[in-house]
Structure 1
Amino acid sequence: MSTEPDWITTPVTADMLRGSLDLEATAQGLLPHRLPARARRQIPDNQLAMAEAQPSGVRLAFRTRATTIELDALPTKRAYRGFPAPADGVYDLLVDGRLAAQATVPGGNVRTIVDMVTQAAELREGPAGTARFTGLPAGDKNVEIWLPHTEITELIALRTDAPVEPARDSGRRVWLHHGSSISHGSNAAHPTAIWPALAAAQGGVELVNLGFSGSALLDPFTARAMRDTPADLISLKLGINVVNGDVMRLRAFTPAVHGFLDTIREGHPATPLLVVSPILCPVQEDTPGPLAPDLDGGTLRFKATGDPAERAAGRLTLNVVRDELARIVEQRTADDPNLHYLDGRDLYGETDYAELPLPDEVHPDPAGHRRIGENFARLVFGAGGPFATCG
C-alpha cells in the first residue's frame, strides 16, 4: 500500500514570489532575477550576470495546510577550478516566520570559474532535483521557502499534500537594500542567515536584497532598477567593490555617488535613504586595490595589490571612501532631510575583527553575518534609528 500523499501541483507564479524584480521563463520553468530585463541587457561582465541571477533573499510565500512539500528545481552551482566542489545550497522553509525545515537539491548544473580575475567559466549540465520537506505542523500556516543565496535556481514545480494559495500582504514595510558580496551573503551558512535577512527579521520588514557579489559598482542601471522598485526604506552599502576592483579614482567616485543618489531620488523623493560605508577590512583600509586571490598554503585569502603612496593621486582605499561618503551625505542633507549615513565599522569594526576575524580577509563567517545583522537591526531599525517606526 502506497504511503505517498495525494499530490497537488501548484504552478509557481509571480504572486507567489518575494524579493525578485523579474521572472524569466526557461525551458525548465521560471528563473527569478534580481535585476529587470532592461538592466540585464546592460550588464558588462559575467560576475554580475551570475550574481543577480543567484536568488539571495528571494523566497516563495504561500498559505497552506500541507505537512509535506516538494519543490522541483534546477540549480546552477558555482565552483572554482582547483578547489573542492561546493556543498549543495540550502533551502530554508519557514512556518509563520520561524525556520522549520531545511533541504538541498543535489545534482544540477555546475559553473566552474577557471580564472578568478576574468571570471571565465565552464558549464557542466546536470539534472534537476527536488527539495523535500516533511513533518510540517498541521493546520493553516504561512510558509516561506528561501532559495539558496549562491545558486542560480530555476523553479519547476511545487507539490503539496494540501491546497496552496499565495500569501496575503503582510502589511510590513518593504526594505530595498543594495550592497556587495557581504550583503549578497558570501560565507553565510544558509539563506535566512545572511545579514540582511537577519536584520529584516529583527526589524519586521520585507526584504528585497540587491546585494551583488563583486558588483556594487555604482552602475546606473542598478540605480534605475532601485528607482523603479516600490520601497518604504532604502539602504546602500557602498565602497568596497569600487576599492577592491580599482575601477575608479576619487574624481570619478564622487559624482558617481551623487548620480546614483539622484537617480534613486527620482522615484523615491522622500523615502528614508541610508548610505552605509564599508565594514572594517584591514587589507584595504589604507591600501588601494585591485584585490587579488592569495592561495598561499592552499587556503583562499585575498590581498590588496595597490600602492598606498598613490592615495595622493586619487587612488581609493576604504578610509578615503568612508570620508567621502560621509562628506557627500552631509552636503546633501541640507536639501534631503531623509538621507542618512552610517559608518560600516559600527556594524563590524576592530573589536569585532579581533573576536570574529574575516576568514579570507574580506568576508565574514556565519557568526560575523549574525553580528552585522544584529548591529544593523539595533542601529537602524531600533529606537532613534533612521528606519525606526514612528511613535
Structure 2
Amino acid sequence: MYRILRLGMVSLLFTGIVDVQVLKYTDARNLLMVGKACSSKEYYHRLDTALFKDLPPKIKYLSTFSCGLAIGFMTNSSVIAAEWEVKPDKPSPNLSAIAHKGLDLYIERNGIWEFAGVGKPELNSTRSKSIIVQEMDDTPKKCLLYLPLFSETKTLKIGVEEGSEIVALPYPFEKKVLVYGSSIVHGAEASRAGTTYVAKLSRRAGIDFINLGFSGNARMENSMADCLADIKADAYILDCVPNATAQQISERTAYLVETIRNKHPEAPIIVMQSIAMDIGNFNLKIKSDLRIKDETIRNEVEKLCKRGVKKLYFIEGKDLIGKDHEGTGDGIHPNDLGFERMAAYLEPKLMEILNNNE
C-alpha cells in the first residue's frame, strides 16, 4: 500500500503508510481486560469507588486513572491502530506524553512479551487516533495494549485491517497479585505504561498484577486497608514507605497487615522498604528521614511476626535500583533503568514466595 504526497513541485512516495480511516475498529470493552482489581461501573477505572465511600478524595480521583490496565487480544492483522479518548487533565513534569495519555503495545513472540509500538497521543486534544505498528506478517499474534498511566481513559477502540480477525485473548494468568503503593508503583518517570516495575513483573512472571499505586499517597489509611482486604488476590505487596511518615508507618502498619490477613489467611503479604532515593545521595536530611522510615517498617513487620502473623515477608529496599545513582529520573522516581532493576531484583524473590505457598 502506498500514497503520494505532493509538496509544491516535489512528489514523495511513502510505502507502508496506512490510513487509519480505512481500518475496522473494535470497542476494547469486547476484548479482555487485565490488571483490574474488580468490576466497576466505569470500565476503565481501577476501583469502583462507590463501593469504598470512606477512601480519601485524592485516592478516589486517582482510582479513575487507567494505570496498570491492559487490553488483551489476538489478531492476524499486519496493522494495529487505536482510537481513544481521555479526560482533560494537566500534564505531569514526571511523565512523557506517551506515558501520561498514550498507549503501549506488547506482542508475544516465542513465549516472551516484546515491545511492539506506542499509540502517540494528540498533545492538544483529548482524542487521539494513531497507528501503533504496521507492516507485520499476517500470522496470529497475542497482544497486550497498556492504557495511559496518569489519565482517565474514557473510550478505546482498536483498529485492524478489513478482512483480518480480532478476538479477546484467553485469560493468560493463573495468579493475581495486588500491589499497593505510591507514585513509584503508579509509574511516575516510566517512559511508557508497560515499563513500570509492576507491568514488567506481570509479563515476566505470567501473573495478573493489580496496580494500586497512587501518586503522592499510600499512607496506609484504615479505609484503604479495608478496601484492599475486600479485593481477592493470591498475594499482596505493600510498597508504602515513600509518602508515609515514620509515625504513620508505626501507627498504621499493623492494622493494614492484619486486616488483609483476617480476610485472606493463606495469601502471602510482602512488605517492602523504599528504594534508596538518589535525591538523598548528598541531602543528608532526606537520607536520614528515609532511613528512619525504612527501619520503622522493618520493626513493625518484626513485631507482627512475633505476634504470630504467618506468611508475612519483608524485602529490603537498598538494592532495588542499584547503587550507581542512575536509576531515577528526578532523584525520587525510577526511570526505565530503575524499573528494570526493580523487576529483576523482585522477580526471583516473589516467585519463590508464591511457589512455596502452593
TM-score using structure 2 length:
0.80
Measured in 2, the distance between the counterparts of 1:286 and 1:227 equals 39
Does structure 2 retain, via aligned residues, the 8 Å contact 1:33–1:55? yes
Name which of 22, 25, 47 aligns with 1:35.
Answer: 47
SS in 1 for 2:159: strand
Where do 5+ consecutive residues of structure 2 fail to align? 4-17
Aligned match for 1:65, one of 64, 73, 76: 76
Deviations 1:222-279 (A, max 9, x none): 3233222232122111211013xxxxx62x5323111111221233211111000111
Q: 1:65: Cα distance to partner?
A: 2.1
In the TM superposition, 1:1-391 aligns within 5 A as 7-13=23-29, 16-21=32-37, 32-38=44-50, 41-46=53-58, 48-75=59-86, 76-79=88-91, 87-89=97-99, 90-96=102-108, 97-107=113-123, 126-133=125-132, 134-161=134-161, 162-243=164-245, 250=247, 252-281=248-277, 317-334=289-306, 335-348=308-321, 352-356=322-326, 358-381=328-351, 385-388=352-355
1:95 Cα deviation from its structure 2 partner: 1.6
Deviation of 1:375 after TM superposition, in Å, equals 1.1
**Per-residue deviation, residues 2-58 of structure 1 (Å, max 9, x unmatched):** 986874443332762111236766xxxx65112222366444344x34433222221
SS at match of 2:249: helix
Q: Which amino acid letter does the alignment assign opposite residue 103 of structure 2?
A: Y
| SS class of match (2:275) | coil
Once the two structures are aligned, what percentage of the paired residues are identical? 19
Deviations 1:98-133 (A, max 9, x none): 22222212146xxxxxxxxxxxxxxxxx44111323
Q: In the superposition, relative to structure 1, how do residues 388 and 24 fare at CA in structure 2: closer, same or farther (>3 Å)?
A: closer
Output the CA distance in 1 between the equivalents of 2:29 and 2:126: 22
TM-score under structure 1 normalisation? 0.73
Take 2:313 and 2:280, find their aligned partners in 1: how far apart are those partners? 24
Tell me, yes or no, if the aligned pair for 2:185 and 2:196 is still in contact at 8 Å: yes
Q: 1-side partners of 2:208 and 2:356: how far apart? A: 14
Q: For the residues of structure 1 that align with 2:278 and 2:315, how far apart are their CA atoms? A: 19
Give me the CA root mean square deviation: 3.3
Q: What is the CA-CA distance between 1:340 and the residue it aligns to?
A: 0.5
Give 1:273's aligned amino acid. Answer: I
The size of the alignment, in residue pairs, is 331
Give the whole-Å Cα distance in 1 for the aligned partners of 2:69 and 2:95.
24
Separation in 1, partners of 2:78, 2:259 = 46
User: Which segments of 5 or more consecutive residues in structure 1 lack a partner in the other structure?
Assistant: 109-125, 244-248, 289-302, 309-316
What is the Cα deviation at residue 150 of structure 1? 2.5
Question: Does the CA-based 8 Å contact 2:240-2:272 persist in structure 1?
Answer: yes
